[in-house]
Chains A and B, each alone.
Chain A
Amino acid sequence: MAETGLIHHDDIVADDSKRDFIFLAAGAAGAIGAASIVWPLLAQMGKAADTLALGSIEIDVSKVAEGQQLKVLWRGAPVFVRHRTAAEIAEAESVDVGSLKDPETDDARLVAGPDGALKPQYLVQIGVCTHFGCVPVGEAGEYDGWYCPCHGSHYDTSGRIRKGPAPRNLAVPPYEYVSDTVIKVG
């Protein structure tokens, strides 16, 4: 090593510190090379370009009658478009937000139309239970919203988790009103 400096093997003079350096440098280059090969092997499992490109769909919400729900497949998961009744809206707005497991007001779960006003009758959310990904059943459960049959999560008329193992409210997808009656999801 460094303190011995030169080592004599019969006639050959070897500098061990240089050998150590070459050994470490070769090892480091090998490790970087291996890592750069492993990364593509792992990254290939991620979302492919065409999967990512299946970005957005347009939905005509005016075709959903009051008290009905439309299910549309977006990114392989169902999107619920619910035309809520006045009673359901009132029920959703009357809840004490502080008492919720995942506190959110009903208004915070809505998106404003082109005129800047909220349309509380149209509730748009991803129909995937936040527990283990089942599709909740509409107009069911103890809070008149959605009920997940898999492990018994109850959501209210705003899609907020009220009872059961699910940790969060039903997700609201990114969407906007492109006209008075058409929304663009994604």
Chain B
Amino acid sequence: MSGHSTYEPKFAVGRWMDQRLPVVRMGADFMAMPTPRNLNYWWTFGGILMLCLIIQIVSGIILGMHYVAHVDHAFDSVQRIRRDVPYGWLMQSTHAVGASMFFLAVYMHIFRALYYGSYKAPREVLWIIGCLIYLVMMATAFLGYTLPWGQMSFWGATVITGFFGAVPVVGESLQQWLLGGYAVDNATLNRFYSLHYLLPFIIAALSGLHIWALHVTGSGNPIGVSDKVKTDTLPFHPYFTVKDMFAIAVFLMIFAFFLFYLPDALGHADNYIKADPLKTPPHIVPEWYFLPFYAILRAVPDKLAGILLMVGAIAVLFVLPWLDTSRVRSMRFRPIARWFFFIFIFMSFILGWCGAETPDDNAFLGLSFYRLSQIATLYYFGYFLVILPILGLVEDPEERPASITQSILDHGDKQKPETVMAPAE
């Protein structure tokens, strides 16, 4: 954070406290962070994500008061929460739908970072902490999905823990160590519950570091030109708290739509069948937010190679700040990169589609989902490993405004074509 404290206690008790433990001053200074005045609505997902984490932790702690982590009782205890526990239906649906909403928001947040080059210097550490949060989120979601002990819970857990079995030499021992037995069973359910309770607090701690790093470097902005003069920024509170609150209200309307009208739309009917270790559902698919990675896993016929590719799909994000060689942050001024980015988003959806379908089925024009997922996987890695490194060297970026203030002053009298292209501006 730049600048010194502007907090002035209004009451005697405030002054008394300020001389002993200046915690209110710390909060006030934190909220006064100078923030670029040109942020668009793509920058509101940070606040939305914080709300998502709070919703998941609060509803999760409440569910923990009624849930029974035992193979004989887990499935029934979740049904009891939905039917018998006062407002249990609300808590259970909020937690289940909330997980999907959390991922929806985090994908928006990540896409924003990719488009506006939020990962570039000096924000590499900020970005890497974000990648870590995403990784822990995925682990938490997977562990939590096992707890209702339905068919998808059980077989999802079997398939995912099977990944560790593919590790050469020690794979089987490692897998059985993770499971606490020869197969997914009561020991597995208990430890998954324990870890599912722990990880959200790890996410909260990482979010603290994420925001700390944000306050050190300052926020990026849609034109990617760093703030230079005082008129470039506004204090975070009240200007951006109000803007975030509006975005949160819209987000909560979408949340409420799913929660009250389509609570099961994002889940699977098979998870209303109690886990049966003797019978695999005919069509196993993960939750929608894992589908692209599932498609990458299945894009190669080899077990270990599939897992390495899937892990690589996430690992590549961590080194992205060093793969993208362009010094221009915002794709608004990168006429070629912008189109490759839009294709990347399209391919991510294609991967999601492939992940939901049976590989051998026909997607279109005789092209199987298996082949389609191979094309999309190739593009996914090509975008990060070939296109971004080369494009940064050969692309001729458009002229950028001298400052944030300058870009806003210009905005009124001449409509630039690129502002029309940019989403949600």
Contacts and interface: CB of A to CB of B under 8 A. Distances in A.
Interface in A25-58: 45-48, 51
Contacts of B165: 132-133
A78 B278 contact: yes
B282 A73 contact: no
Given A47-B181, A75-B181, A150 B360 contact: no
Interface of B: 155, 158-159, 161-163, 165, 176-178, 180-185, 187, 191, 277-284, 298, 301-303, 306, 359-360
A168 B159 CA distance: 16
Nearest to A134: B280
A71 interface: yes
25 contacts: A45-B177, A45-B191, A47-B180, A47-B182, A51-B180, A51-B181, A51-B185, A51-B187, A76-B182, A76-B185, A77-B183, A78-B278, A132-B163, A132-B165, A134-B155, A134-B159, A135-B277, A135-B278, A135-B279, A136-B280, A137-B282, A149-B282, A150-B155, A152-B359, A167-B303
A167 B303 CA distance: 7
A176 B183 CA distance: 23
Contact of A132 (B158, B185, B301): B158
Interface in A62-82: 71, 73, 75-78
Given A46-B180, A48-B180, A151 B158 contact: no
Contacts, number: 85
B180 A76 contact: no
A109 interface: no
Q: Output the residue of B181, B302, B359, B360 with the most chain A CB within 10 A.
A: B181
A133 B159 contact: yes
B178 A132 contact: no
B176 A150 contact: no
Given A71-B278, A166-B303, 4 more contacts: A45-B191, A75-B183, A76-B183, A134-B280
Interface string A128-142: 100111111100000
Contact of B181 (A71, A76, A78, A151): A76
B61 to A, nearest CB: 25
A101 to B, nearest CB: 11
A114 interface: no
Nearest to A131: B303
